[in-house]
Chains A and B, each alone.
Chain A
Amino acid sequence: MKPVAAFVLVGAALAVAPFLGLPAFYESFLYLVFSWVVLATSWNLLSGYAGYFSFGHAAFFGAGVYATAVLGGKLGWSLLATLPLAAGVPALLGVTLGAVIFRVRALRGELFAVLTLAVTFVVSTIVLNTPIDGGPGVMLSAVSIPKLAPSPSGTFYLMALILALISVYISYRVYHSRFGTGLFAIHDDEEVAEVMGVPTYRFKLGAFALSCALAGLAGGIHGVFVSYVTVAETFGHWLALYVILMAAIGGTRHWLGPALGAALVTTLLYAFTASEHALGGRAVVGLVLILVILFMPQGLLGRFSRRTPLPRNGLIPPDASMAVPGKEPILVIKGASKAFRGVQALGGVDLEVRRGEILGLVGPNGSGKSTLINVVSGHYPLDGGSIVFEGREIAGEAPHRIASGGIARTYQIPRPFAHLSVLENVALPPMFGRVAMDRGRAESEAWRWLEFTNLSEKAGRLPAELNLHERKFLELARALASRPKLLFLDEVLSGMTPSEMDEAIRLVRAIREQGATIVFVEHVMRAVMELTDRVVVLTNGRTIAEGVPREVMRNPQVIDAYLGAAHA
């Protein structure tokens, strides 16, 4: 059955309750459950999916509360009329904050958490001291609410139910969408996600805005439900922490996790409060949080969070040729220089890559090979020089744009997305690369490359379950899946046994047969000899030789560089 239908059915089933004479007490209790479902699920969109743990959810909830309070309580608007702004004001606040914070690479992890905590304090202080609240709180008993059910508590029940269904549905859709895959990739390894084509900045802002809007809506409704709002109650510290607790218990990587956690925790707390053990209830909640983080960090639904691959459809992916017509060199690097903290990693490198060739890039350890790949793919900005790809200057471009331009690379130490399956890892670049496919086509593209690298059997597994050589092949499949025009292989062979290496060499040949241009960084010399058309030798950040492999490796300067000078 289509998901929308399932949601509507569940919703309809729950919606009849107020009409069946449910006591107001239960309506209010369930209202609270639904409200917390909205808060936890909305929090999870940014914090659970993308990994940016926010401790400031109360700020956006509160912004929604006070948007409704001002418009409804002070200016006489009806609740429904205030809702667009109850969603819009927090969303705007979130986007403004995000626009600044997400640009700063260092503000992740615990710093982001502390920053969002600080934001809550600032917002609450401003609300407290300005005419928005001013101190005495705001009365909302006169705000008119729609008549959806026989009683007011029934109406709130239905409003919260609808909002909860919407939130969980959004969570579900995002989870299964390209957007969601991008967010999960950001969570696992934001730098690599960016290099693979995910527009990380935009996606984070989008998730944040959505999260804030939903929290604000919950706030707007809640303000009228309690009919009297104060700053202390609205921006209380416990809200920010309870949503984290709920999502953590239910499972932050699952679309239904936060909802489940919210239902469990709210019920638990209510049970304790009802039996006069409110204090004990809070202590138990604290204990549960500790136990969950220590023993079950992925939460109750965590183990179910593998998205099942769509059944292998019969779609035949378009022709796999990666050949690029034209005579001019596909990549021209001139005078590239890059220094890290005083160490000159690249000191003016000149390099040309011709179409359809396999170019070997060799040199002793520390010669700058990996740095060169990193600057071309956009990981690091260049200090000086230019990189022209297909006639276009790409030095300084955002990594995801370089990726969609047709450059792909593998990592020397494989960096797969740890919580995405093998198939999803390989399907990611086609989704975000220059061909930008939808999930179905991206997955069938991924299947093709998994077959090519003999990994089809492991498609549903997590990368951690693969051994090193399989992970290297996964890197390869992932890089190939974006149909790059230019492919950088960074020490693909290191750590492999001789027979695994033979397989890899065969693969690289097969890739070349499809017309791709490959830059092959390697230490394993016999592979370099067998595979490459030309070789460039890099030492101390400079090119010292270039030409046909056999000749270059007999060049006395090159031999010196490798084996070291006997005398100065």
Chain B
Amino acid sequence: MLEARGLHAGYGAAPAIRDVSLDVGQGDLVVVVGPNGAGKTTLINAIAGLHRIESGRLVFSGTNISDLPPHRFCDQGIALVPEGRRLFTGMSVRENLELGAYGSAAKPHRAQAMQRVLALFPMLGAKLRALAGTLSGGQQQMLAIGRALMARPRLLLLDEPSLGLAPTIVIEMFRIIREVNQDGVAVLLVEQNVAMALQLARRAYVLEEGRIVAQGSPQELASQPDIQRAYLGH
């Protein structure tokens, strides 16, 4: 469904990602791991349309989206849960969710989407009128995921969703991601928390210094020394 080939993106003379190719199939659950500074956020942002692709190709469901303007990505079926959540803190929880369904494809189904999201995240239902900025870290992360789900995406992108969260919340969140995936939404997840990410994934890529250095099933990768070396140095 998603095909990235030879992506180059970055900051001027120093590209953050070089020659990155990956695939996400329909209903797939793919994880990209890598140490800090490897380029994970640039990669996800490029796929979400937030970051300009300098060279390479990005194809989604047969459509070449490499040159699409940022506001069209949502209608294609791609939704992003960015690093640091990036909620609209001055707006209420309900408004943040409604904004998720702003795109023309999602708007007609807003009411149903809202029901679905509130069923997944019941604690948000109690806080619909609260300002997004007043929520705790875990609640904000849930809201960010809920907002993305309001767009009824076929591909959900998540950038380091476990950052700054307590372990119990992380477990709950990953359970929800698995449930969403089982509903048919493909997931591409970028994570630092390698162990949990590998438990979740069907396939994984390892990104180091802007390049894919390994890929395969979680079992294959966990046994390889690549990941341990990349993170721990030995």
B68 at the interface (CB under 8 A from A): no
From the candidates B11, B37, B194, B230, name the one contacting A564 in the complex (CB within 8 A): B194
A201 at the interface (CB under 8 A from B): no
Q: Is the interface of A mostly helix, strand, loop or mixed?
A: loop
Complex: A366 Cα to B161 Cα, angstroms: 12
From the candidates A343, A366, A553, A563, name the one contacting B195 in the complex (CB within 8 A): A563
B233 at the interface (CB under 8 A from A): yes
Complex: A565 Cα to B192 Cα, angstroms: 12
B119 at the interface (CB under 8 A from A): no
B164 close to A523 (CB less than 8 A): no
- Interfacial chain B residues near A550, Cβ < 8 Å: 234
B111 at the interface (CB under 8 A from A): no
Complex: A447 Cα to B228 Cα, angstroms: 41
A268 at the interface (CB under 8 A from B): no
B13 close to A365 (CB less than 8 A): no
B196 close to A566 (CB less than 8 A): yes
B36 close to A494 (CB less than 8 A): yes
Residues of A within 8 A of B (CB): 343, 364-366, 467-469, 491, 494-495, 497, 523-526, 528-529, 550, 553-554, 559, 562-566, 568
Residue-wise, chain B 144-163 has the 8 Å CB interface mask toward A (1 for contact) of 00000000000000001011
Complex: A364 Cα to B14 Cα, angstroms: 24
A564 close to B195 (CB less than 8 A): yes
- Interfacial chain A residues near B13, Cβ < 8 Å: 467-468
Tell me how far the C-beta of A208 lies from the nearest C-beta in chain B, rounded to whole angstroms. Answer: 35
From the candidates B171, B194, B233, name the one contacting A563 in the complex (CB within 8 A): B194
Complex: A565 Cα to B195 Cα, angstroms: 6
- Interfacial chain A residues near B125, Cβ < 8 Å: none
A566 close to B199 (CB less than 8 A): yes
B36 close to A523 (CB less than 8 A): yes
How many residues on B have C-beta within 8 angstroms of the other chain's C-beta atoms?
A: 31
- Interfacial chain B residues near A554, Cβ < 8 Å: 234
B137 close to A495 (CB less than 8 A): no
A525 close to B234 (CB less than 8 A): yes
- Interfacial chain B residues near A366, Cβ < 8 Å: 163-164
B26 at the interface (CB under 8 A from A): no
B167 at the interface (CB under 8 A from A): yes
A525 close to B167 (CB less than 8 A): no
B233 close to A494 (CB less than 8 A): no
- Interfacial chain A residues near B164, Cβ < 8 Å: 343, 366
Give the 4 A-B residue pairs with the shortest CB-CB distance, closest first: A525-B233, A564-B193, A494-B37, A468-B14
A364 close to B192 (CB less than 8 A): yes
A467 close to B171 (CB less than 8 A): no
A365 close to B36 (CB less than 8 A): yes
From the candidates A343, A494, A563, A565, name the one contacting B231 in the complex (CB within 8 A): A563
B14 close to A566 (CB less than 8 A): no
A365 close to B233 (CB less than 8 A): no
B126 at the interface (CB under 8 A from A): no
Which residue of chain B is the closest to A494 with respect to CB atoms?
B37
Complex: A177 Cα to B139 Cα, angstroms: 54
Complex: A563 Cα to B221 Cα, angstroms: 13
